[in-house]
Structure 1
Amino acid sequence: MTRETLFNAVLGLGLFAFPLWAWWAEEPFMITLSTRVVILALAGVGLNLALGLGGLVSLGHAAFFGIGGYAMGILASHAQSYTPLMEFPFVIEGTKSMPVIWLVAVVASALAALVIGALSLRTSGVYFIMITLAFGQMLFYFAISWPAYGGEDGLSIYVRNSFPGLNTLDPIQFFLICYAILGAVLLLSARLAASPFGLALNAARQTSERVETVGIRPYRLRLTVFVISGMITGLAGALFADLNRFVSPSMLSWQTSGEIMVFVILGGVARLFGPVAGALLFILLEHVLGGLSEYWHIYLGLLLLGVVLFARGGVIGTLAGQGGKHG
């Protein structure tokens, strides 16, 4: 067992054990804080697939995060008000069922990622970054100007959505749902990276010309991973909105895209548990330093600068005694 694998196991078990202790100690806020870490880590895992495997620096992943959130908000609000979502050409009702909401969030995010990726991937480098950012901002301002679902004020959902056989209003049960999803997505990410698709994508990231000479189109590889990445981030958005029982345009903002990227960079780009370590560190700093000063982002910026300059492998790479995975 490598040091990185050992650290991943300790991190995963610790993230599972802490909320159980908080549940035993009757500290529901700590359980909610842990759930927030898990959901944000899930969003980071989505971006890490595009960034770590495909080398795609996207500043528009908040678009998928927000689409997932609004999918939850719209469906739940119509179920809450007993009004149909659509009556023509056939009636579509709202729903409070989490599995149905997740499916809608994933499909909507996949379609958005397909359109955004198909256009953005015709460019590269800084142009790709700016196009993804532009798409994210377009959706952000669309949400602000959408009064039917709260506009700038956002949309509140008064009761958390349901999951068959579980009480989602119980913080520990909702945490376990989110933790199970994160575990499944991490397993999918690991399998994907080790698959022929992942190996071809990694080769395309390093040298596109060599991949093209053997008949593989890098564009298709990158578009596929971009769509998968968007789907995972959209699912995280739906869970995040359910956690807060609120969705707002801020979920679509470029600041949210930046935060998701910070999780990946802090933990380690292309490291399997990198986004988990990054999200945990981010929430820890927010919780501890946020109580001392409203300008706690200064310390986060200094930490991020130190990671970029001296620990290119992020927290996990440093603790594993390895450098940056991609230099």
Structure 2
Amino acid sequence: MTRERLFNALLLAGLVLVPLAAQAADEPFTITLATRAVILALAAVGLNIALGLGGLVSLGHAAFFGIGGYAMGILASHAQSYAPLAEWPILIEGTKSMPVIWLVAILASGLAALVIGALSLRTSGVYFIMITLAFGQMFFFFTISWAAYGGEDGLSIYVRNGFPGLNTLAPLPFYGLCLVLLCAALWLFDRLAKSPFGLALGAARQVPARVAAVGLDPTRLRLVAFVISGAITGLAGALFADLNRFVSPAMLSWQMSGEIMVLVILGGVGRLFGPVAGAVVYVTLEHLLGGITEFWHIFLGLILLGIVLFARGGIVGLVAGRGGGHD
């Protein structure tokens, strides 16, 4: 077993054991922190498909994160006893079922990724970065003006949505659901990276002209990766909104896009467990240093600077003792 695989196994074991220990010690807040880390890791896994496998530097992934969140908020608000949408008599059937909400979030964010990707991939380099940022800001300002669903104040959901056979109001069962979905996303990333599609996508990232020469369309490969990436990030957004029982335009801000990208870079771009390591470190620093100073991002910046300068493979690459991408 390589050092990277051993590190991945230990990290996964920690994600299982720490919440169980917190439950035994009656510390639900620790479980909530772990849930936040797992959900952010899921969003980062989504971005890692576009960035790590496809080489697509997107600053608009918060749009998919927010679309997933609003998919949850809108469906759940229509299922609640009160009616927050007097201005919008839309015929939407509300639901409090997590599987249905997840499906809607995946489809909505995947469709948005298809449209945004089809337009953005007409460009490359810094132009691609800026156009994805522009699309993200368009969605952000739209939600601010969407008064029917809270506008700038956001939308509160007073009771967490349900999953058949589980008490999702308890911290541990909901954490378990999020962890299972994260593991499924990691499995998908691993399968994609090792599949013919993943190999072709990697080749399109490195030498697009050669991929086109053998009859493959590099743009189509990138678009498929971008859609899958957006769909997974949208699922994470739905879970994040359910965790907080609140959705707001802040989920679609460019700062959120930057935060998701930081998780990938911190853990290791293209690494299987890179987003997980990045999310765990980020949430831990936020909790420990956030109580000391509101300027805790300074320390995060120093760590990120060190990673970029001396550990191009991120935390996982540093542990593995080599740079590069997916193993």
Write the distance in 2 (CA, Å) between the matches of 1:147 and 1:84: 10
Deviation at 1:122, TM superposition (A): 0.4
* Secondary structure in structure 1 of the residue aligned to 2:80: helix
Aligned partner letter, 1:249: P
Partner deviation per Cα, 1:36-78 (whole Å, 9 max, x = no partner): 0000000000000000000000000000000000000000001
Write the distance in 1 (CA, Å) between the matches of 2:121 and 2:154: 31
Question: Is 2:78–2:92's contact at 8 Å kept on the other side of the alignment?
Answer: no
Question: Is 2:77–2:84's contact at 8 Å kept on the other side of the alignment?
Answer: no
Write the distance in 2 (CA, Å) between the matches of 1:174 and 1:158: 16
Question: Is 1:84–1:94's contact at 8 Å kept on the other side of the alignment?
Answer: no
Write the distance in 2 (CA, Å) between the matches of 1:125 and 1:228: 20
Name segments (4+ residues, structure 1) moved above 6 Å: 84-88
Q: Does 1:18 align with 2:21?
A: no
Q: Does 1:71 align with 2:107?
A: no
Deviation at 1:92, TM superposition (A): 3.6
- Residue in structure 1 matched with residue 213 of structure 2 by the alignment: 213
Partner deviation per Cα, 1:59-113 (whole Å, 9 max, x = no partner): 000000000000000000010136599977xx54100000000000000001100
- Residue in structure 1 matched with residue 308 of structure 2 by the alignment: 308
- Residue in structure 1 matched with residue 281 of structure 2 by the alignment: 281
Deviation at 1:323, TM superposition (A): 1.9
Write the distance in 1 (CA, Å) between the matches of 2:89 and 2:158: 24
Unaligned runs of 5+ in 1: none
- Residue in structure 2 matched with residue 2 of structure 1 by the alignment: 2
Write the distance in 2 (CA, Å) between the matches of 1:76 and 1:280: 29
How many positions carry a matched residue from both structures?
Answer: 324
* Secondary structure in structure 2 of the residue aligned to 1:81: coil
- Residue in structure 2 matched with residue 255 of structure 1 by the alignment: 255
- Residue in structure 1 matched with residue 98 of structure 2 by the alignment: 98
Partner deviation per Cα, 1:134-166 (whole Å, 9 max, x = no partner): 000000000000000000000000000000000
Write the distance in 1 (CA, Å) between the matches of 2:25 and 2:38: 20
Write the distance in 2 (CA, Å) between the matches of 1:249 and 1:56: 24
- Residue in structure 1 matched with residue 122 of structure 2 by the alignment: 122
Superposed CA RMSD = 1.4
Same amino acid, percent of matched pairs: 76
Write the distance in 1 (CA, Å) between the matches of 2:37 and 2:325: 24
Aligned partner letter, 1:161: N
Question: Is 2:68–2:237's contact at 8 Å kept on the other side of the alignment?
Answer: yes
Partner deviation per Cα, 1:13-39 (whole Å, 9 max, x = no partner): 111110000001000000000000000
Aligned partner letter, 2:129: I
- Residue in structure 2 matched with residue 144 of structure 1 by the alignment: 144
Question: Is 2:84–2:149's contact at 8 Å kept on the other side of the alignment?
Answer: no
Partner deviation per Cα, 1:245-277 (whole Å, 9 max, x = no partner): 000000000000000000000000000000000
The equivalences for 1:141-290 within 5 A come to 141-290=141-290
Deviation at 1:2, TM superposition (A): 1.1
Partner deviation per Cα, 1:172-219 (whole Å, 9 max, x = no partner): 000000000001110011001100000000011000011011000000
* Secondary structure in structure 2 of the residue aligned to 1:169: coil
The 3 A distance-change label for structure 1 pair 12 and 302 is: same
Write the distance in 1 (CA, Å) between the matches of 2:52 and 2:248: 29
Write the distance in 1 (CA, Å) between the matches of 2:49 and 2:199: 12
Question: Is 1:60–1:133's contact at 8 Å kept on the other side of the alignment?
Answer: yes
Aligned partner letter, 1:79: A
Question: Is 1:269–1:325's contact at 8 Å kept on the other side of the alignment?
Answer: yes
Write the distance in 1 (CA, Å) between the matches of 2:289 and 2:322: 29
Aligned partner letter, 1:256: M
Aligned partner letter, 2:37: V
Question: Is 1:83–1:94's contact at 8 Å kept on the other side of the alignment?
Answer: no
Write the distance in 2 (CA, Å) between the matches of 1:54 and 1:180: 25
| TM superposition score normalised by structure 2 | 0.97
Write the distance in 2 (CA, Å) between the matches of 1:244 and 1:92: 23
* Secondary structure in structure 2 of the residue aligned to 1:4: helix
Aligned partner letter, 1:6: L
Unaligned runs of 5+ in 2: none
* Secondary structure in structure 1 of the residue aligned to 2:165: coil
